[in-house]
Amino acid sequence: MDAMTHKATMSAADPVTFYGTEVASRLLLGTAQYPSPAILAEAIRASGTEIVTVSLRRESGAAKAGQSFWQLIRDLGVKVLPNTAGCRTVKEAVTTAEMARELFGTPWVKLEVIGEDDTLQPDVFGLVEAARILSRDGFQVFPYTTEDLVVAEKLVSAGCEVLMPWGAPIGSGRGLNNPYGLRSMRAHFPGIPLVVDAGVGLPSHAAAAMELGYDAVLLNTAVAKAGDPVRMARAFAAAIAAGREAVIADPMEVRDMAAPSTPVMGRALLGS
């Protein structure tokens, strides 16, 4: 399927499918840094999301810590995407994923292997290795990666059926730093679900990602740290829906020169 066929088969009402699981909402939401559990719950409801990311560090089997948080997530009826946030080695990421599968009862894992402190850029070498190990062990891996096409090819070869390139460094709110690279990834992988993950700060950033033909957007800080997280969650949901509608509507081509929107044929001419 080429990029044009991909666009032609899209429908605003179509669900997005991750590893055989269909979800109607194209907004994935993180659960960290909210002012309170009550605001988190209200924001999740307002967003309409069906998938939330959860860090294993929120749970502690020995001390029963985090049980109230886990119960809140259960009560909301959303799907859980455990993540390996903060992991910096293959061994740490794999071990965390294994613990998360046991705790949360899902083969899904958002795989993060961080390689650089200032930007929190993925260690793509460790990411590919960890993805291969986890896929072989039955995990369904959602890799947090860059927009590098070579790395993406290796992740697909390692067993990943979803790719999650960053928009910008985690928590930066900068939006889409490399639209060209993201557009190239969409064209190169027309049949694979693509999710922009990290760096999204405004609803307009999310709409732009959807207008590139992406299947979903994952964000956390932009909602959690907003002055009104619930209102911001609604704004992101609306922006993602608008961006999806726009790309299906087949936007006009960008031009270098002006083109009159009013016909000039039949215009009255005044003689001298």
Binding-site residue positions for 1-deoxy-D-xylulose 5-phosphate: 171, 198-199, 220-221
Give me 61's structure tokens: 């089997």
Is residue 210 within 8 A of residue 240, CB to CB? The reply is yes
Give me 76's structure tokens: 């909301």
What angle, rounded to 10 degrees, do the helices at 124-136 and 90-104 form? 40
Q: How far is CA 62 from the centre of its chain?
A: 32
Is residue 155 within 8 A of residue 127, CB to CB? The reply is yes
In 3D, which of 217, 152, 219 has the Cα closest to residue 191? 152
User: Is 110 a known active-site residue?
Assistant: yes
Q: What is the CA radius of gyration of the chain?
A: 21
Q: Please state, in angstroms and rounded to a whole number, the distance separating the CA atoms of residues 15 and 12.
A: 8
* Torsion sign (Cα): 225, 229, 233, 236: negative
Q: Please state, in angstroms and rounded to a whole number, the distance separating the CA atoms of residues 81 and 107.
A: 9
**Phi-psi domain of 159 (left: phi exceeds 0; alpha: psi -120 through 50; beta: other):** left
Is residue 121 within 8 A of residue 103, CB to CB? The reply is no
Q: What are the residue numbers of the active site? A: 110
